[in-house]
C-alpha cells in the first residue's frame, strides 16, 4: 500500500488502496503502510480505489475516491440516475442487508468507544419495511445555478450561463442545486409535481431564486404525502406576484391529481426557514391527516413529524416495549415535538407530560391528543431544565418513566444534570446520533445502568441511524 507524502505541495493520488472496513457517518477506512488510518467517503469495504488526500494529520488522513479500480464483491448497481451527484442516498451501491449490518456496527462501536460504559448484548437492528418511497416529506429548491459535474466542466470550453434548476442542494454547496428528474424517496404524486412545476415555470419564464444575489421569485416547494393518500403542497415564493402565483397554483391543482391541501408562503428573508412565516391555504384543507396505527395526526405545512411514517410506528413500538408500562406510570416525554411518541404511549400509562421548546409544536400536540380523544396528555412549551421545577413536580407528579428524543447534538448538560436529580426509575433514550447519545450515556452512568439497546433504521440508503436505549435507575442511587 502507498505511503502518504510528507511534502505538502505534492498532492499525487494514492493508488490501489484497499478499503478494509466501515467506520461511521458514511466513511470507510483503509490502513496504510506507515500506520495511518485513511478515511474515505463513497466507498465500501472490499473496494480497491485511487484516493486524493485532502486532509493529512499525524495518525490519520481523509480523502476522496478518484477512481474505482476494482469494485468490492458487495457492490451493486444503484437504482437512481442521480446517485453519486445529489448526495441524498449515498449507499445505493450496497445491498440493504449490508447497510443495516454496518449501521448496527456503527452503533456498537460508538457506544463502546465514546460511552465507555458497561453494555448489554445489543439487539438486532430493525430494518425499514420500505427501502424506496418511504419519506412523507421532501423539499425541492429553485435556483439559477445548476450544479455541474466535473465531467461537464471538463468538456465545456465557454462560460456556463445561468441555468434555472429545480432539485436538491448539492452536498456542501448553498447556492448550487442538482436538477432532479425522478426521485425514489417519496411516493406519488411527488415526481409528477416536480415535473409539472418545472415544465410550467420554465415555459412561462418565471424567475428562480439566486442565493448570492438574493433575488428571484420562486424559492422552494415542500411536498408531504401521507400514508392515508392525502397530499399537501406548499409553494414558497420570495415576494407576491398575484397573477403569476394564481396561474401557477391553478396549473398545479388542475394537472396533479390527489392534492388535498395546496398552500403558498411568501418568504422575503435571507434564509429558507418558514417557521416564522405565514402559510396561506389557497385551496383544499389547511392540513392533511396521517395515521400511526389507529392514531390520527394533523399535519400542517409547518408540523414536525417523523419522516418515515411506517417505520415511525415500528420505532415507537420499540420505545413502548422498552418502557414496559404497567398502566400506572407518569410518563414525561422530553423533546416531544408534536406529541407523537407520548400520544402513542398514552393508552399504557396513567398520564403523559410532554415538554418541547417550540410553541407551535406544542399547539399541534394538543390538537393531536384531542383528535384522538386522549385526555391524559398535557403539553408544555419551554426549556426542560427550567420547566421541571419542584413546583411543577408538585402539580404534575414526578416521572416514573422518561422518554427523551433530542436532536443530533444530544441533550444539553443542564438537562442531563436535571435527569440525574430527578432519578426516574426508567429512561428510554431515543437518538438519531449514537455518538452524542454515547456521550450522554456516560454522564447518566453515575445513577443508571443500561439494560437494552436496539438500533432502528429510519432512512435506507443513508448512513443515518436511530438507536433506542433503556436505562434503569441503580438500586444504590436512592430516591430524590
Catalytic center residues: 432
Query: Cell numbers of 303, please?
Result: 408540523
Helices (H), 273-412: 309-323, 340-345, 359-371, 384-387, 390-396
Contacts of 159 (CB under 8 A, 6+ apart): none
Report the Cα–Cα distance between both ends of the chain, in Å, rounded: 58
Q: Collapse the DSSP code of 166 into the 3-class scheme (helix H, G, I; strand E, B; otherwise coil) and give the result.
A: strand
Q: Cα separation of 232 and 264, whole Å?
A: 11
- The secondary element (H helix, E strand) that includes residue 244 is helix 242-255
How far is C-alpha 267 from the geometric centre of its chain's CA atoms?
24
Q: Would you give the DSSP letter of residue 153? A: H
CA distances 233 to 56, 204, 283, Å, are 46, 20, 10
SS3 for 89-150, per residue? CCCCCCCHHHHHHHHHHHHHHHHHHHHCCCCCCCCCCECCCCCCCCCCEEEEEEECCECCCH
In this structure, are strands 37-41 and 401-404 parallel, antiparallel, or unpaired? unpaired
| Beta strand segments in 228-276, E | 231-237, 259-266
Contact 65, 49 (CB under 8 A): yes
ω before 156 within 30° of 0 (cis)?
no
Which DSSP helix (H) or strand (E) runs through 321? helix 309-323
Biggest CA–CA distance in the chain, Å, is 74
Amino acid at each position: 500500500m502507498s505511503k502518504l507524502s510528507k511534502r505538502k505541495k505534492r498532492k499525487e493520488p494514492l493508488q490501489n488502496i484497499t478499503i478494509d472496513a466501515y467506520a461511521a457517518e458514511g466513511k470507510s477506512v483503509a490502513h496504510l503502510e506507515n500506520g495511518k488510518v485513511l478515511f474515505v467517503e463513497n466507498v465500501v469495504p472490499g473496494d480497491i480505489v485511487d484516493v486524493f488526500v485532502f486532509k493529512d494529520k499525524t495518525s490519520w488522513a481523509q480523502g476522496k475516491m478518484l477512481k474505482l479500480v476494482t469494485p468490492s464483491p458487495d457492490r451493486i448497481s444503484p437504482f437512481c440516475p442521480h446517485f453519486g451527484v445529489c448526495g441524498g442516498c449515498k449507499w445505493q451501491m450496497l445491498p440493504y442487508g449490508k447497510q443495516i449490518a454496518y449501521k448496527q456496527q456503527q452503533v456498537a462501536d460508538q457506544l463502546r468507544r465514546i460511552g465507555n460504559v458497561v453494555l448489554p448484548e445489543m439487539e438486532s437492528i430493525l430494518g425499514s419495511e420500505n427501502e424506496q418511497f418511504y419519506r412523507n416529506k421532501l423539499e425541492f429548491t429553485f435556483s439559477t445555478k445548476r450544479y455541474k459535474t466535473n465531467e461537464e466542466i471538463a468538456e465545456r470550453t465557454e462560460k456556463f450561463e445561468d441555468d434555472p434548476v429545480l432539485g436538491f442542494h448539492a452536498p456542501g454547496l448553498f447556492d448550487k442545486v442538482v436538477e432532479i428528474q425522478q426521485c425514489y424517496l417519496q411516493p406519488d404524486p411527488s415526481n409528477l409535481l416536480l415535473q409539472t412545476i418545472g415544465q410550467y415555470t420554465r415555459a412561462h419564464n418565471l424567475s428562480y431564486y439566486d442565493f448570492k444575489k438574493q433575488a428571484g421569485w420562486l424559492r422552494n416547494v415542500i411536498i408531504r404525502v401521507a400514508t392515508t393518500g392525502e397530499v399537501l403542497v406548499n409553494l414558497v415564493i420570495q415576494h407576491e406576484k398575484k397573477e403569476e402565483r394564481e396561474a401557477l397554483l391553478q396549473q398545479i391543482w388542475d394537472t396533479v391529481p390527489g392534492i388535498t391541501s395546496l398552500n403558498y408562503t411568501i418568504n422575503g428573508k435571507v434564509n429558507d426557514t418558514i417557521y416564522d412565516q405565514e402559510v396561506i391555504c389557497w385551496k383544499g384543507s389547511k392540513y392533511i391527516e396521517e395515521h400511526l396505527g389507529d392514531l390520527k395526526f394533523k399535519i400542517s405545512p409547518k408540523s414536525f413529524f417523523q419522516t418515515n411514517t411506517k417505520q415511525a410506528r415500528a420505532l415507537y413500538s420499540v420505545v413502548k416495549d422498552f418502557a414496559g408500562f404497567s398502566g400506572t406510570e407518569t410518563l414525561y416525554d422530553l423533546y416531544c415535538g408534536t406529541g407523537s411518541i407520548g400520544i402513542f404511549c398514552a393508552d399504557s400509562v396513567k398520564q403523559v407530560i410532554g415538554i418541547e421548546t417550540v410553541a407551535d409544536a406544542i399547539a399541534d400536540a394538543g390538537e393531536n391528543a384531542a383528535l384522538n380523544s386522549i385526555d391524559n396528555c398535557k403539553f408544555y412549551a419551554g426549556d426542560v431544565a427550567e420547566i421541571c421545577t419542584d413546583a411543577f413536580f408538585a402539580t404534575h407528579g414526578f416521572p416514573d418513566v422518561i422518554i427523551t428524543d433530542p436532536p443530533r447534538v444530544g441533550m444539553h448538560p443542564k438537562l442531563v444534570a436535571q435527569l440525574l436529580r430527578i432519578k426516574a426509575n426508567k429512561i428510554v433514550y431515543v437518538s438519531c446520533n449514537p455518538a452524542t447519545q454515547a456521550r450522554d450515556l456516560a454522564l447518566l452512568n453515575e445513577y443508571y445502568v443500561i439494560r437494552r439497546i436496539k438500533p432502528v433504521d429510519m432512512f435506507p440508503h443513508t448512513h443515518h441511524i436511530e438507536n433506542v436505549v433503556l436505562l434503569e435507575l441503580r438500586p444504590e442511587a436512592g430516591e430524590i
